[in-house]
Structure 1
Amino acid sequence: MSLPHRMTGPVAPTAFRTRRSARRGAAALGLAAAMTLAAVAANPAAAGAAAPVGPVFQDGMAQPVFSSNRNDWIREEVWIETPIDSDGDGRNDRVHAEVTRLKETETAGLKSPVVYEASPYYAGGNAVANHNVDHELHEALRPGKGWLNRGGPVKDPAADERLTAAGVDEAAAADAGPAGTGPQPAISTSHEANWLPRGFAVVHAESLGSGKSDGCPTTGGRNETIGAKSVVDWLNGRAKAYDAAGREVHATWTTGKVGMIGTSYNGTLPNAVASTGVEGLEAIVPISAISNWYDYYRANGAVVAPGGYQGEDTDVLAEYVYTRADKQICRNVIEDLAKAQDRVTGDYNAFWDERNYMNDVGNVHAAVLVTHGLNDWNVKTKHAAQWYEALKARGVPHKIYLHQGGHGGSPSVDVLNRWFTRYLWGYENGVENDPRALIQREDRTLVNYPEWPEPAAADTELNLAPGDGGAAGELTLDRTRQGKPVTETIVDDATKRAQTLADAATSPNRLAYKTGALTGAVRLSGTPQVSLRMSFGRPAANVTALLVDYDQNGKAKIITRGWTDPQNRKSISRTEPVKPGTPYRIDVDLQPHDYVFAAGHRIGVVLLSSDYEYTVRPAPGTTLYLDTTKSTVTLPLVGGAAALTAANG
């Protein structure tokens, strides 16, 4: 174990990376000069040393050398002024935030970087009804059968999952009583136990339209991005803030270096703020975060729900988080969301373009630690994959952590600590030289990889050979196995669940194709795709594709899936009617994944029309016709076709 490095005295803002390093070189050198090798234990007090007035680093991480007693911390409540008026009341919106910082920032001149989480969930949520999904495709929507209740005010379950993963019991912390001085109850106490003892400050802010913040919720709209960004501006002296008495409050205690973190909506806001390129945001950790809201509520022109929230849309979520006291001022805003989101055609439009952070990924300079569950069907893996790929292409400092869980799930405190120590404290621990990908494998072991997707993965095209009498056909590298041209059919029945159809030995409501039993393991890493030659019996239909792992007993495990609207076959922005009986090329990208098919298992692809859990559910009966000889499946396999050939006998 290495000896700790100790930084003493007031800490100046620094930068060791990014394009700003040159013009901040003098500050960086000043900080480096302040670092001295201290031959003391990780706990200076235990070794008889004086209490620290600066951070202590060991093994590349900031050490918990400051007080962990909440009564020793300072808590402040502020309202930060934004440059927008999203509720139209003639006054600029203000974001309600709480700061928790060490007493040393008052008594010893300590300057702390900030761990910052913004959320629309701190004040709970409202009971809301989701949209009806039991209707014909492109039919005008109306209340009625199929409306669902999301429930009354609840805590953000993703936040609970994150705290559990970090070893923080928020309920127990709340029972411990007041934390220093300041307002009670606190917005949140998450992150405090981890980061205050390591010298960081923590800021929690309520998104516009929620809690004590002004403005209106817009489910990813530009105003929410500006609201969350304004907190970073205030921490860097570019925005004003006021206390409850209206007195101006200055953030004189911070270095101005900010790291945003959060899960789900709370993780989406860091992506949004980073896409503005705001100065001072040095690092983000988006956990199960959205990178394009269209991909949250739509897929290739199809209206597709987030997993577990069938029928939800932007207006429903805005209504859920609209927890500010004034329940009327944002009514028109939410009504406008309902109109502009277009649940009828599912087309991409200006409304969705405003909520597409991929448009502005070129502005990102913050170091990004992308975190996502490989089995997250709420915020699907496409959000992490496309964001991460764009960051790589632009040379932004990046790392990805993929785990076997679903929605939520944080990296360990050590992984986070190395990230924040490097990019917020500016301590050169070499994290930028670490393997870029940390993946939890199927047996729950953690494996480091140089990058993700696996660089050795290659797109491998497989062909479809029809089955007999509705039984599963063959998924094969050998085109000669297809035989003569055959048209196979799917009869849509949205009442049948995908898992039931994947498990069925035969069914008129799906088509299935399988490889032979694998003699060795095969790893998939990346985005599977299917390219289908199809015609349709009606002017509109859903198309769903599943990638399936069949075990030795034939039991199906759905690995990933994808959806499309054939009417958007040329563009997600334009609906073109389908002419019944006319064949079309229908391409479907499935959700990205990293998965190992075990020896003895079979790789399968299942095609169906409507997906009960995700798509609009029209009445049964639409027939889809598949030309198997002109349809293919492309899988990103490590080792490519050679690896599959070797493992397929």
Structure 2
Amino acid sequence: MSMPRQARGHAAPPAVRRPGSARRSAAALGLAVATALTGLAATPAPAIAAAPVGPVFQDGLAQPVFSSNRADWIRQEVWVETSVDSDRDGRNDRVHAEVTRLRETETAGLKSPVVYEASPYYAGGNDVANHDVDHELYQPRRPGRGWLNRGGPVRDPATDERLTAAAADGAGSDAKITGTGPQPAISTSHEANWLPRGFAVVHAESLGSGGSDGCPTTGGRNETLGAKSVVDWLNGRAKAYDATGAEVRATWTTGKVGMIGTSYNGTLPNAVASTGVAGLEAIVPISAISSWYDYYRANGAIVAAGGYQGEDADVLAEYVYTRADRQICRGVIEGLEKAQDRVTGDYSAFWDERNYMNDVRKVHAAVLVAHGLNDWNVKTKQAAQWYEALKARGVPHKIYLHQGGHGGSPSVDVLNRWFTRYLWDYRNGVENDPRALIQREDKSLVTYPEWPDPAEADTELNLTPGANGAAGVLTPGRPRHGRPVTETIVDDVSQTAETLAGAITSPNRLAYRSAALIGAARLSGTPRVSLRISFGQPAANVTALLVDYDQNGKAKIVTRGWTDPQNRRSIWKSTPIKPGSPYGLDFDMQPHDYVFPAGHQIGVVLLSSDYDYTIRPAPGARLDLDTARSTVMLPLVGGANALPPANG
């Protein structure tokens, strides 16, 4: 997930109703807030010749015609009352938020739409310990014989050293604010871009973090409702209070809200949009989660977010638990550790609560999805499944895919065009633009009618064994289902996926390559594998890689996927494996859009444990693949015509 901006200290606010942890003395805070709320009564606003009293649009974009001087802006601090009591103190939680708006909203009757970012990271983070991943896999006994736990969570003494501001999005800086209102600001991101164009900006701290009440729950319903409450307040449906306890009304806004953010900050827009809240007109989720199960699990397997082996929902909640009271949420976080189930990896009611796909039918906000094609923290499935569901329901949608990893916002012009259309309601025709904007491998930006590319077709490839551990052949067409043709993998997690993909021979992987491509072949969508495997033991990881081999045989992993064969029937329940019995495993790799250059070979590599992502059991597990009954499905633009012929 995206990491916090700068950490800050806390001091108690006036004791009218403790809204959370404020950051300065009561007297100074009260004076600052009073000044902001009275429209700068202490310092009369100077007259500005020919100042605009409304937005100006040109070429479909809101123009920066308002002041860019922070001293001309009004800043307010509020605590918004929610409908939940997640810290169980007998009072509804309150969300700490700050508003930055133009002086004209006080002096000239300007009504501004709002660009809103919610985050659990503004107050920094705590030192946390990830779970141990070096242990045996869970092995259920057959029905009637009980259940045997051969794995389970163990605390790792190593500290998870997170990045700080690398994934924080938006323009602006954390420079000291010279304008009116509370000091220092929660964040100044987005202000430099949007206030000069007539928007207001709101930053809010997620429940359990910073100055907010409540408890962090890593995507739980309370966090959704906490972030939603700010939209409700901006539309007159919720109450907010200043540090003195006085009610504050948002009379300066149109009520039209656009949420934006990266990673956790981008996940909250998805969550809030899934409530169907009125007034949320647009969202821009960047590297965002649509289902938390798919962040920490994959097809029943316990799988890490890239770079954070052993992290899970409880660890992340502990990391962002930065409110002043550090004891009140202990029971909640302990409950997360139990409910997340690092033993079986099964889907459950816990994960179902954190699956925003369940409520995608309620989304009406226009959605501009942005994601890195090489993001292995929040993986591309999160964007692809969300986008596909929105598309199917006719929600206004657009997708931006780039060649980077975690984070990466569309350009200001792309965002401006989106927010201008849906927040200012200015008819700039954005809904008629091509739906997909993709940064190609050479860094050029290319538009496509839609994503995945409408010209892609699922192309089935079969596997022909190699000899003595060398790569076999990947060819178009369905396999001939004759007698089983078996190849064996011996698990050795000390060999990384990159090492195994590049190995000329190895007993620890199976590899299959196409003939050299005559022309470039573009993948657009979700690759899948259908494997027939038997196991020498009751538990094993199964990993599939899609690989690009250049003319020199150098391997580049394009995408990958994982499964727990115990979940072959359902992610909801583990079913025992009988050693020696063959099972069909059908699972997806992470979606991608990738061009294999002419002269390269498309490769598929199969292995068991994946050092950087899966649980890491002791070496030696045996997997036997029936190549005659196993296939790979690739979404290729042009279908099988993009590949050399089977006899080529």
Mark yes or no: TM-score above 0.5.
yes
Superposition deviation, residue 645 in structure 1 = 3.6
3-state secondary structure, aligned to 1:273: helix
Letter aligned with residue 624 of structure 2? Y
CA distance in 1, matches of 2:479, 2:625: 18
Q: Does 1:496 align with 2:488?
A: no
Which letter does structure 2 place at the counterpart of 1:103? Answer: R
Summarize the alignment of residues 619-634 of structure 1 with structure 2, pairs less than 5 Å apart.
619-634=618-633
Any idea what SS the aligned residue of 2:614 has?
coil
CA deviation map 1:191-240 (0-9, x unaligned) = 00000000000000000000000000000000000000000000000000
Give the Cα–Cα distance (whole angstroms) in 2 for the partners of residues 87 and 647 of structure 1.
Answer: 62
Q: Describe the superposition over 1:496-536 as per-residue Cα deviations: whole angstroms up to 9, x where unpaired.
A: 10000000000000000000111110000000000000000
Structure 1 equivalent of residue 152 of structure 2? 141
* Residues 517/251 of structure 1: CA separation in 2 closer, same or farther (3 Å cut): same
* Structure 1 residue 147: Cα displacement: 4.6
Structure 1 unaligned spans of 5+: 1-47
Matched to 1:148, the amino acid is A
> 1:555 is matched with which residue?
554
Distance between the aligned counterparts of 1:156 and 1:212, measured in 2? 19
1:109 maps to 109
Q: Deviations over 1:435-481 (max 9, x none)?
A: 00000000000000000000010000000000000000000015579
Which residues in structure 2 correspond to 1:281-292 (within 5 Å)? Answer: 281-292=280-291
User: What residue number does 1:314 align with?
Assistant: 313
CA–CA distance in structure 1, aligned partners of residues 102 and 383 of structure 2:
34
1:486 deviates by 1.8
Whether the aligned pair in 2 keeps the contact of 1:538 and 1:579 (CA below 8 Å) is yes
Pick closer, same or farther for the CA change 1:286–1:426 going to 2, 3 Å. Answer: same
Matches for 1:143-182 after TM superposition, within 5 Å: 143=154, 147-151=157-161, 155-159=164-168, 162-163=169-170, 168=171, 170-171=173-174, 174=175, 177-182=176-181
Partners of 2:536 and 2:372 lie apart in 1 by 38
**SS of alignment partner, residue 603 of structure 1:** strand
* Contact kept in structure 2, 1:422 and 1:431, CA below 8 Å: yes
The answer to whether the Cα contact below 8 Å between 1:131 and 1:312 also exists between their aligned partners in 2 is yes
Letter of the 1:410 partner, please give it.
S
Aligned to 1:362: 361
Scaled by the length of structure 2, the TM-score of the pair is: 0.89
AA matched with 1:284: I
Q: 1:646 to 1:56 in 2, by over 3 A?
A: farther
1:35 counterpart residue number: none
- Which one-letter code corresponds to 2:120 in the other structure? P
Write the letter of the residue equivalent to 2:131. Answer: H
- Per the TM alignment, residue 482 of structure 1 is displaced from its structure 2 partner at its CA by 9.6
CA RMSD of aligned residues (A): 1.5
Q: Aligned letter for 1:157?
A: A
Aligned equivalents of 1:202 and 1:478: distance in 2?
55
Residue 64 of structure 1, CA deviation: 0.1
Equivalent residue runs for 1:299-338 within 5 Å: 299-338=298-337
Going from structure 1 to structure 2, the CA distance change for 1:49 and 1:452 (only over 3 Å counts) comes to farther
Distance in 1 between the 2:181 and 2:210 partners? 17
Letter in 2 for 1:143: V
Q: Which amino acid aligns with 2:362?
A: N
2:172/2:190 contact within 8 Å kept = no
Aligned to 1:505: 504
Residues 1:54 and 2:54 are matched in the alignment: yes
| SS state at 1:117 partner | strand
**CA 501–251 in structure 1, closer or farther in 2 if over 3 Å, else same:** same
Distance in 2 of aligned mates of 1:361 and 1:281: 14
8 Å contact 2:478–2:631 — kept in the other structure?
no
Change (3 A) 1:523 1:320: same
In 1, Cα distance between the equivalents of 2:119 and 2:130?
22
What residue is the counterpart of 2:383 in the other structure? 384
Shift of 1:140: 4.1
How many angstroms does 1:155 deviate by? 3.1
Q: Which residue of 2 aligns with 1:98?
A: 98
Q: Quick one: distance in 2 between partners of 1:52 and 1:328?
A: 50
Q: CA deviation at 1:483?
A: 8.8
- 1:524-578 CA-to-partner distances (Å, cap 9, x unmatched) read 0000000000000000000000000001110100000000000000000010010
Counterparts of 2:545 and 2:482 in 1: how far apart (Å)?
24
SS at match of 1:323: coil
Distance (Å, rounded) in 2 between the aligned partners of 1:65 and 1:303:
51
**Segments of 4+ in structure 1 off by > 2 A?**
139-144, 154-157, 478-485, 645-649
Question: Which amino acid is 2:275 matched to?
Answer: T
Q: Tell me the TM-score normalized by structure 1.
A: 0.89
Q: Which moved more, 1:480-489 or 1:128-137?
A: 480-489
Compute the displacement of 1:352 (Å).
0.3
SS in 1 for 2:585: strand
What is the count of residue pairs matched by the alignment?
590
Cα separation, 1, equivalents of 2:93 and 2:288: 25
Q: Kindly indicate whether residue 340 of structure 2 is the aligned counterpart of residue 341 of structure 1.
A: yes
- Confirm or deny: 8 A CA contact 2:544 2:607 kept in the other structure: yes
Q: Deviations over 1:122-146 (max 9, x none)?
A: 00000000000000001343536x5
CA distance in structure 2 between the partners assigned to 1:288 and 1:73 by the alignment? 30
- Aligned residue number for residue 68 of structure 1: 68
| Percent identity of paired positions between Structure 1 and Structure 2 | 81
Shift in Å at residue 277 of structure 1?
0.1
Shift of 1:644: 1.6
Cα deviations by residue, 1:120-175 (Å, 9 ceiling, x for unpaired): 0000000000000000001343536x5532137x634210xx34xxxx4514xx1x
Is the 1:545–1:588 contact (alpha carbons within 8 Å) kept by the matching residues of 2?
A: no
Counterpart residue number, 1:123 = 123
CA distance in 1, matches of 2:626, 2:157: 37
AA aligned to 1:593 is H
1:122–1:155 CA contact under 8 A, matched in 2: no
Structure 2, unaligned stretches of length 5 or more? 1-47, 139-149
